Structure 1
Amino acid sequence: MCGIFGMVGDMSGRIPAPDVIADINLLFKLSESRGKEAAGLAVRDDRGINVYKQPVPASKMIKQKGFKLFCAKRLSGNGVRPNLRAIIGHSRLVTNGLQSIGNNNQPVIAGDMVAVHNGIVVNDDYLWSVNPDLTRRYEVDTEIILCLIRRYMSQGKSLALATSAAFGDLEGSASTLVFPADQEAMLWATNTGSMYFCTSEDRTVRVIASEKHILDEFKERSRTAGYLNWDQPTQIRPGQGCLVDLTDHSLWLFELASPAEPEVGLARSGGGRLEISSSTMEDEARRDGIKRCTRCVLPETMPFINFDDEGVCNFCREHKPPEMLGMDALLEQADRHRRNDGTPDCVVGVSGGRDSCFGLYLIKEKLRLNPVAYSYDWGMLTDLGRRNQARVCGRLGVEHIIISADIKKKRKYIRNNVEAWLKRPSLGMIPLFMAGDKQYFYYADKLRRQMGVELVYLMGNPFEKTNFKTGFTGVEETSGRIYNIPVTRKLMMLSYYLKEIFLSPSYINFSLLDSLWALYSSYWMKHDFLTLPFIHYIPWDEREIQETLRREFDWEEAKDTKNTWRIGDGTAAFYNYIYYTVAGFTEHDTFRSNQIRENILSRDEALQMVKRDNQPRYESLVWYANTIGFDLDHALQVINQIPKLY
């Protein structure tokens, strides 16, 4: 289980800052026996609540330059910290939530509160489901405790009564220390009794920890022991809570099962809500501050972007709306290839994603062609994608040919390239993770030749242009299709890859030949088979497509995102996490920007969508790492430490 601790009381001038910091470091070391996977500290003063946390052991975190600077800034001031109210700390054993996702680590910020929590809430998923008015933002179970307390307080209950009601909803174990941002109070509560405190002889300072022996050792080794004279540890019994007034340091114990109204009158924090800050919140604020095009939502970190005097980007200035040839022209093209003898007249690529499933429906039901569905399974097709393929092909009565790679080898190749990339991260090398699917083009051409058909539908939509992926290699892609890049730029791209391989020899592994084949299939192989992209004929309507798929096929959507794009692709969550963390945008930003240019979305709508869709897809990240076989926490630590472009 985790180790939690705290200090609260009159530290306004009586305790030198170096002694406070030394005692905090001691509490981290003593609490680390209960969890060594992440650590964090929250400092409460009269100006705000400031949080520092890292996905590393506490003994390592307290040696970091960043932590020392945090303590110097938040705990020191001419040798003392005159307005320090309290601190809470946590040494984490990971039970819920990836430790390298900062918001999953403790202290947790939610419900306008900051808390550390020891235990496991086993019914948190159920509590989220039966409280739809509450919004879940993280994986960690601590979040539901804070959101429930805040919800009950919004109904008029006191902090003690709200805590009682929240603990009444919980199943499992919970011992927590909480800073509400709007009250001069510190809350302690436990349903297991894993909480002890000792008090200074003058009753003005208290130290809290998860175990009695931690406080026994603290009393002997504390820098403050010589002049504060700590008494014997006292247990907060199972089912008991405590409120500490941060203005007069008074303490009131109450029973969680039947709390009375507090005997301490809790003042408002400075007359209102205190500011809460943390490194994860600062990253979000930095991303929110990125300069974006005033017409679309493309950011300044987009490769090859520039803005005019009015803040409009070159992609908007150079955009030319496509000419729609219309449904009649599409039918006319289909008629040229239609066979009336019952044999297939076209091949349709079906990934299991939104656009390919809808395209197969359109070809079969509206164009009245006799298609054969084709899928290339390279190991990253999710189970959700397979189920959607089966739904659509089964209900339409379409033959489905699956060409499968050596899945075990393909996944090993991806792992080799991910691990090589982590040794020398470079945004331009990210497409190497997806190189294994590019033989899709090769097998599409091979299949249509075997079947004796000319027509191949490679489904897509006009807005999924992700030329920034090529742009991060230093090559500008303007054609919209990777295989149409001029030869000179293909050579520039090849030289970039060769340079990166030279600088990071780990790329020279068993995947190299497969990657070269992918490069050939994408950029050098002749794409001379006849395709009929719908994007040149009829408008692409996202809402209509989604409603059709749900109505006709009971089409399944992902649980970890409200977006329906790329949900059958196991790689998307990982590479989008990298782009979002380092560059501050993903392919969702380019997608929505293209929709803005076609007057499908307003800029405000697009900003809301990318804010939502760019959030990490936790379940998909875990699936990807488990399927490929690499350490996700290590990977996310590396990604989070890459210098940002914003």
Structure 2
Amino acid sequence: MCGIFGVLLQRGAPIERDAVESLMSRLYVLSESRGKESAGLHAYLPSKRLAWTVKGTQSAADFLKTDSFRDAMGAVMLGAYGVGAAPQEPLVLLAHSRLVTNGTAALPQNNQPVRSGRVSVIHNGIVVNVDTLWAAHAELQRFAEVDTEVLAAMLDASLRGGAGSAQATRRIYGALKGAASMAWVHDGLPLVTLATNTGDIYLAMDRQSQMLVFASERYILEQVLRAAGPEDRVPKVDAIEWLSAGNALCFDVGGAMAPQRHVLAQEALLADDPAPPLAEPGLSAASTVHHDSFTGRVEAIGVLTRLADESLVRYGEASVRALRRCTRCVLPETFPFIAFDHGGVCNYCRSYRPRYGGMHPEETRKSFIASLERYRRNTAGPDAIVPFSGGRDSSYGLHLIKKEFGLKPVTFTYDWGMVTDLARRNVARLCGQLGIQNILVSADIKTKRDNIRKNVSAWLRQPDLGMVPLFMAGDKHFFRVVNELKRQTGIQLDLWCANPLENTDFKSGFCNVSPDFDKKRLDYLTLGRKARLAGYYASRFLKNPRYLNSSLQDTFGAFLAYYVEPRHDFYFMFDHFIWNEDEVNRTLLGEYEWELSPDSPSTWRIGDGTAPFYNYNYIYMTARGFTEFDTFRSNQIREGQITREQAMESIMVENRPRVPSLRWYLDTINLDFNDTIRRINTLDTLGLHR
């Protein structure tokens, strides 16, 4: 999940050198929102057989300041423009701003652009069957972990075998699974191909089709072109064009061929090269001189100086099973504010109002769909924004929105450093298969992870169950982000897919905030409860000054985003019709080959990097013998979806510590596994896990 962008110029295109450099700078800066962990450039002069590829471990904005980038841009612009006002030679500039998924950014071969043979590629998305593709093409050589390499290698092999650009591109999309929006060029051709199976490419051409500018988002391209003042002398473009899912475009910078569009859609892929080949220029056998450079720190693969002692992790299943529990649900006596009546039934059960009581499983769904008609657009563009974490509820919700509701959604993912690669792969599965855009909004991940480490370190000095949600504060900005995206896209409707059975009153309960049995939304707190919650946090900040660190501004912003940010034209879908776990799992696993975590039997909470540590394992289980699974399964009992016996057996398995995921979390925020687990183990004051 990255940002791809670029500028393509034919000889004589009506744009001066300074304007091109200004366009590229703005594209880099704005595309940084999609990934800040590395950046790169591939510059190509096809008529001179010269190419420059620069990769860096910096953010895009910092990459622009490097000598390597400036030297490459200076050389290629001199080669293209000479001393003229217009380019004297065709020019290709392909660029990338990366959010790291497959392969560390510290190794040059994992960063983009990626070259294999004579093909250079920039790619946004994730190829989820990358290992299968390499195995199916054993004749191809793999040098990197990044999935983009297999695309470049397969394209190069197809062209060596006599295929044209359109033909080679179709073959790629017929073989890959996942999401792929890419731009690629062969160093023996003056053709650049843009292609997407999700619709994450927008482009603009001048009226003579001598210049093409593209980016991953309409908003980015709009801002870049809007910022071009008269002094930039950027040629007039008629309109920004959306390269929708299942489509591609070939642009000939040599000028011999008009821009050619071709189809990658499934019906076309079912045939063997269904469309006649484009009248492309011939593949040149002349070799191209490549100038490659890498800027930034190249880090050796680290070796843990201290092995994690997994035997420190405890789970006293027998003691946990023996806790006194509600006779109707499975909440234990250690749950905040719990009280049992003479029959052993807890106050949470007695006060519970069934969410789905009396709801007809089909009619309520139809009624909800009908209520969205006023948001439906007749144009080709999207009509709903869907926050998409890659978790099971947002995945299933997206399936319904596209296939059953008939809406045209655009998704967004707010990556704050704890979205796992597994979640990103599931995002790619759904978006690729359904042909849906994914706007990735990437925080400064290094800073976010540093903030988590500082707050967890402060907490470990004075453990307090009420302060645990502070570790998740960094992700609450997504409420602000969705409002920004609505303003940028002009879309009114946002649909949220959290299910109401995930309600967890215990997190605020540990802050001495009593449960609100009448609340209508998962995220709702009365004004009085918000004040008590804020007061609790303030008192703990004063008691433990280590919380007063550089993360404070981010934490305060998260509180405002979650509890104060206005929300209009939004719906929690599953408040309006029945959410059923069996239906969710059957759909995701059966239709999308949705990926599970090897250390969990559940489909829930497997894409959230924080979950094993605090959402259900390890802190709450150690201290009080329950997790989020206890509350979730109890709500299912109250809705009549499962029996108490089924719930008990489920939680005994689901609550087991997920050690590999625990290790990933602590490694990611750079905390020692052994010291952290030992400290958490001291919370077992009830003796449940000894």
TM-score normalised to the size of structure 1?
A: 0.55
Q: Given the alignment of the two structures, is residue 462 of structure 1 paired with residue 500 of structure 2, yes or no?
A: yes
SS of 1:496's equivalent in the other structure is helix
The 1-side partners of 2:481 and 2:381 are apart by 20
Paired residues of 2:321 and 2:652 also in contact (CA < 8 A): no
| Larger Rg computed on CA atoms | 1
Trace 1:434-453 onto structure 2 (pairs within 5 A): 434-453=472-491
The change in CA–CA distance for 1:341 and 1:287 in structure 2 (over 3 A counts) is: same
336, 341, 349: which one pairs with 1:303?
Answer: 336
- For residues 130-172 of structure 1, what are the alpha-carbon distances to aligned partners after superposition, in whole Å with 9 as ceiling and x for unaligned? xxxxxxxxxxxxxxxxxxxxxxxxxxxxxxxxxxxxxxxxxxx
The 1-side partners of 2:685 and 2:640 are apart by 32
Q: Given the alignment of the two structures, is residue 364 of structure 1 paired with residue 376 of structure 2, yes or no?
A: no
Trace 1:237-386 onto structure 2 (pairs within 5 A): 283-323=316-356, 324=359, 326-386=364-424
Q: Given the alignment of the two structures, is residue 532 of structure 1 paired with residue 571 of structure 2, yes or no?
A: yes
542, 545, 549: which one pairs with 2:588?
Answer: 549
The change in CA–CA distance for 1:564 and 1:480 in structure 2 (over 3 A counts) is: farther
The 2-side partners of 1:477 and 1:392 are apart by 36
C-alpha deviation, 1:560, in angstroms: 0.1
The 2-side partners of 1:402 and 1:477 are apart by 35
Q: Given the alignment of the two structures, is residue 500 of structure 1 paired with residue 533 of structure 2, yes or no?
A: no
Paired residues of 1:482 and 1:522 also in contact (CA < 8 A): no
562, 565, 581: which one pairs with 2:601?
Answer: 562
The 2-side partners of 1:360 and 1:643 are apart by 41
The 2-side partners of 1:579 and 1:495 are apart by 22
Aligned to 2:624: 583
SS of 1:484's equivalent in the other structure is coil
Aligned to 2:675: 634
The change in CA–CA distance for 1:559 and 1:507 in structure 2 (over 3 A counts) is: same
The 2-side partners of 1:335 and 1:529 are apart by 16
Aligned to 2:221: none
SS of 2:501's equivalent in the other structure is coil
The 2-side partners of 1:447 and 1:594 are apart by 33
Paired residues of 2:375 and 2:493 also in contact (CA < 8 A): yes
C-alpha deviation, 1:280, in angstroms: 9.0
SS of 1:532's equivalent in the other structure is strand
- For residues 44-71 of structure 1, what are the alpha-carbon distances to aligned partners after superposition, in whole Å with 9 as ceiling and x for unaligned? xxxxxxxxxxxxxxxxxxxxxxxxxxxx
C-alpha deviation, 1:537, in angstroms: 2.8
The 2-side partners of 1:621 and 1:282 are apart by 14
Paired residues of 2:476 and 2:561 also in contact (CA < 8 A): yes
Paired residues of 1:305 and 1:314 also in contact (CA < 8 A): yes
C-alpha deviation, 1:480, in angstroms: 5.8
SS of 1:579's equivalent in the other structure is helix
- For residues 114-137 of structure 1, what are the alpha-carbon distances to aligned partners after superposition, in whole Å with 9 as ceiling and x for unaligned? xxxxxxxxxxxxxxxxxxxxxxxx
Paired residues of 2:312 and 2:677 also in contact (CA < 8 A): no
C-alpha deviation, 1:644, in angstroms: 2.9
The 1-side partners of 2:504 and 2:457 are apart by 24
Paired residues of 1:477 and 1:485 also in contact (CA < 8 A): no
The 1-side partners of 2:315 and 2:548 are apart by 38
Paired AA for residue 593 in structure 1 = S
Trace 1:40-51 onto structure 2 (pairs within 5 A): none
Paired residues of 2:423 and 2:606 also in contact (CA < 8 A): yes
Aligned to 1:571: 610
Trace 1:169-184 onto structure 2 (pairs within 5 A): none
Paired residues of 2:382 and 2:410 also in contact (CA < 8 A): yes
Paired residues of 2:431 and 2:437 also in contact (CA < 8 A): yes
SS of 1:460's equivalent in the other structure is coil
The 2-side partners of 1:281 and 1:529 are apart by 45
The change in CA–CA distance for 1:457 and 1:310 in structure 2 (over 3 A counts) is: same
The 1-side partners of 2:332 and 2:315 are apart by 18
Gaps of 5+ in 1: 1-277
456, 471, 486: which one pairs with 2:526?
Answer: 486
**Aligned residues between the structures:** 368
- The worse-fitting range, judged by mean Cα deviation, of 595-604 and 532-541 is 532-541
The 2-side partners of 1:389 and 1:283 are apart by 35
C-alpha deviation, 1:643, in angstroms: 4.4
The 2-side partners of 1:385 and 1:480 are apart by 28
SS of 1:347's equivalent in the other structure is strand
The 1-side partners of 2:399 and 2:509 are apart by 34
Aligned to 1:225: none
The 2-side partners of 1:570 and 1:357 are apart by 17
C-alpha deviation, 1:311, in angstroms: 0.3
Paired residues of 2:499 and 2:574 also in contact (CA < 8 A): yes
TM-score normalised to the size of structure 2?
A: 0.52
Paired AA for residue 540 in structure 2 = E
Paired residues of 1:348 and 1:371 also in contact (CA < 8 A): yes
495, 498, 518: which one pairs with 2:558?
Answer: 518
The 2-side partners of 1:310 and 1:522 are apart by 38
Paired residues of 2:622 and 2:684 also in contact (CA < 8 A): no
The 2-side partners of 1:404 and 1:420 are apart by 26
Paired AA for residue 634 in structure 2 = S
Trace 1:465-476 onto structure 2 (pairs within 5 A): 465-476=503-514
Paired residues of 1:306 and 1:314 also in contact (CA < 8 A): yes
Aligned to 1:618: 659
The 2-side partners of 1:422 and 1:411 are apart by 16
The 1-side partners of 2:626 and 2:324 are apart by 12
Please give the root-mean-square deviation of Cα atoms over the aligned residues, in Å.
1.8
Paired residues of 2:315 and 2:657 also in contact (CA < 8 A): no
The 1-side partners of 2:667 and 2:441 are apart by 23
- For residues 79-103 of structure 1, what are the alpha-carbon distances to aligned partners after superposition, in whole Å with 9 as ceiling and x for unaligned? xxxxxxxxxxxxxxxxxxxxxxxxx
- For residues 593-616 of structure 1, what are the alpha-carbon distances to aligned partners after superposition, in whole Å with 9 as ceiling and x for unaligned? 000001111000000000000000
Paired residues of 1:348 and 1:456 also in contact (CA < 8 A): yes
The 2-side partners of 1:480 and 1:312 are apart by 23
The 2-side partners of 1:494 and 1:511 are apart by 16
Paired AA for residue 667 in structure 2 = N
Paired AA for residue 602 in structure 1 = T
The 2-side partners of 1:282 and 1:361 are apart by 37
Structure of greater relative contact order (alpha carbons < 8 Å, 6+ residues apart): 2
Aligned to 1:5: none
Paired AA for residue 591 in structure 1 = F
Q: Percent identity?
A: 47
C-alpha deviation, 1:282, in angstroms: 9.4
Q: Given the alignment of the two structures, is residue 398 of structure 1 paired with residue 431 of structure 2, yes or no?
A: no
The 2-side partners of 1:396 and 1:635 are apart by 42
- For residues 232-289 of structure 1, what are the alpha-carbon distances to aligned partners after superposition, in whole Å with 9 as ceiling and x for unaligned? xxxxxxxxxxxxxxxxxxxxxxxxxxxxxxxxxxxxxxxxxxxxxx999994433222
Paired residues of 2:500 and 2:521 also in contact (CA < 8 A): no
Aligned to 1:192: none
SS of 1:375's equivalent in the other structure is strand
SS of 1:363's equivalent in the other structure is helix
The 1-side partners of 2:641 and 2:348 are apart by 17
The change in CA–CA distance for 1:387 and 1:492 in structure 2 (over 3 A counts) is: same
